[in-house]
Structure 1
Amino acid sequence: MSARRRLSVISQPKGARKPAERLHHQRWAPEHQPPAAGTLSPPPPPLVITPVIACNPDTDMSTLWLIAREYPHLRKWLIANPKADAALLEYVSQAGGPGVREAFDILFGQPRDDRA
């Protein structure tokens, strides 16, 4: 061993590690433990509104009303939702939107003849 190497080994305090070794040996909290009291957790991801959500009977009414007000292209899918009440269907009927009339015709069993 060279003299320079011996001096560097001797001059380090006992138990001293290089920065990379210190990071490697740091102890992190296990992932399975719940966060400590008072710490914040990230919010849930934003809801992506799709036709599946619009016709899913498990979707809550506030989300159905949001779709009726804010997403006119998805109103026709609300008509297929068995959870949609009379007030929601009335709003969708009055507000209209692409495919709404056809969806109501299907719901009420009134086929349209567009050949004429």
Structure 2
Amino acid sequence: MRTVIRYFFRFVRLILTPIMLISEKLTTPTAITRSADEQARVDLATSRLALYQFRACPFCIKVRKEIARLGLSIETRDARLNAQHRDALQTDGGRVKVPCLRIQHENGSEEWLYESDAIKSWLQQHFDTV
């Protein structure tokens, strides 16, 4: 019975994944506009950030849409497809849970921020100029 349930959910995921990804592409907001100097400053600040995510995770999609709205260039790391990213998430972050934003502070320390709402709030506090 467990096998039947497992395959049922794999089938559902197989059907829903393309729909979710197409929906993300169609509903992603346009980026806010900044001056060239301000965008360069933002790009420098985002070079210390990495988003650990799964491609079709609805909470990850929510965070990626906010990243797009804010016009940020944050590296995305797929923890499902890349074993190194999954291991880093487990060993450094403490658990394999996505979305997770790795924040490397200027003093060299790292912060691992979980939960999509917490990540969105942090990004808005640091990068939202509207």
Which band: TM-score by shorter chain? Answer: under 0.3
TM-score norm. by structure 2 comes to 0.19
TM-score norm. by structure 1 comes to 0.20
| Structure having the larger proportion of residues in strand | 2
Higher relative contact order (CA 8 A, sep 6+): 2
